[in-house]
Amino acid sequence: MNSNFERNNIAELEGYVSGEQRNDPDLIKLNTNENAYPASPQTQQALETINIEDLRRYPQPTSDNFRRAAAALHQIDPSNIIATRGGDELLRLLLTTFVDPGAAVGMTDLTYSLYPILTRIQDAHPFAVALTNDWKLPLNFTEQINAESCQLTFVVNPHAPTGTLTSAADLIKISNNINGLLVIDEAYVDFVEDPDHDLSRFAANSRNVVLLRSLSKGYGLAGLRFGYGVGPQHLIEPMLRKTRDSYNLDAISQALATAAIQDQVYAKENWKRVNAHREELVKELTKMGFDCIPSQANFVLATVPDASATSAEAIYHALRTENLLVRYFPDERISNKLRITVGRPEEQARLLALLAPILGISAA
């Protein structure tokens, strides 16, 4: 304990810095992978039926209505589901419940930057396996993880921040051979085009797999903070009954999240539309000389043309001056790239119109 009472592992930690959240109606925000469109009209209807009097009492402690709806969606049992305050809460609960201080936690390099921070909060240590040059898991991934005795391993799929997809078959093989837990963070999985890419029933019946799902991206509800985990009962139950804060989800978000996942017709239309915009964005960026990593998420990691005199960082700043945000990461492996969230057509048109003069290309 240092003089400020902080534990040593916390004192040494730098906190997570989220993407810029500026509140400005004129801002075009393509920096934090929010859905281009709002949640379904049925969610709006659910919101309108809520009254302040409904909030006087405690909410359902374990979000059972939502869990039943999610179970029906995935054709599994509610006991295979835990509802959480965004995916972040699930990540934390997994570490709290299954990872001892001092243990190793597996992940890839690059990956979602929150994983090593949450690992250090648990006083465990991150073990990062380098991705291949084309951002895939290396063939000996499992062997490296097992050699380090990782109690738990995070794989984000589709991968962030590149958008690349590892196949369900490859992940099943990894889970069968890995000694610890495998957490597959599917925050972006709704944008995967292959309708057969579905690991939920596999996870529910697995020995060691928990899937993370989020309503932030696929359902246009980043402001609601709602996610869920899918896994076998022996992994879900300890988080649901023991380590979860006793009332982790408020009554309003439970009602809205349930309405959102029950309107699959709207959701699937949304994903199709966002994916069509993604293809359009990639096509136009490619025309301008950007190299776009094939993405199955609602963002694109685009490499600035070699010939460009303007660096990714300078482009980021130039766009920001024009009230358009994209994400720039200083990490040297991607410091020549920009991560661009798929936006509405008019937002993407504005981006492309701004990029042309910055790169010194005449607009089409």
Residues 246-305 that bind a copy of itself (CB under 8 A): 246-253, 256
Question: Which one of 116-124, 155-163, 272-280, 329-337 is the stretch in contact with a copy of itself (CB under 8 A)?
Answer: 116-124
The residue within the footprint of a copy of itself, chosen from 24, 26, 49, 53 (CB under 8 A), is: 53
CA–CA distance, 353 with 358 (Å, rounded to integer)? 9
Restricted to residues 294-353, the positions that interact with a copy of itself (CB under 8 A) are: none
Q: How far is the CB of 223 from a copy of itself (least distance, A)?
A: 4
Are 69 and 83 in contact by the 8 Å Cβ rule? The answer is no
State which residue, 88 or 185, has the beta carbon closest to a copy of itself: 88
Q: Which of 260, 169, 152, 163 minimizes the C-alpha distance to 214?
A: 260
Helix (H, G, I), strand (E, B) or coil at 261: helix
Binders of a copy of itself among residues 61 to 100 (CB under 8 A) are 61, 85-86, 88-89, 92, 96-100
End-to-end CA distance of the chain: 61
31 vs 164, which CB is nearer to a copy of itself?
31
Applying CB under 8 A, which part among 197-205, 240-248, 280-288, 344-352 lies near a copy of itself?
Answer: 240-248
Task: Give residues with Cβ within 8 angstroms of 321, minimum separation 6.
Answer: none
Residues 124-183 that bind a copy of itself (CB under 8 A): 151, 180-181
Q: Does 222 bind a copy of itself (CB under 8 A)?
A: yes
Count of positions on this chain that bind a copy of itself (CB under 8 A) = 81
Which of 290, 255, 319 shows the shortest CA–CA distance to 27?
319
Amino acid letter, 186: E
- Nearest CA to 154 out of 98, 215, 111 is that of 111
Nearer to a copy of itself among residue 88 and residue 186 (C-beta): 88
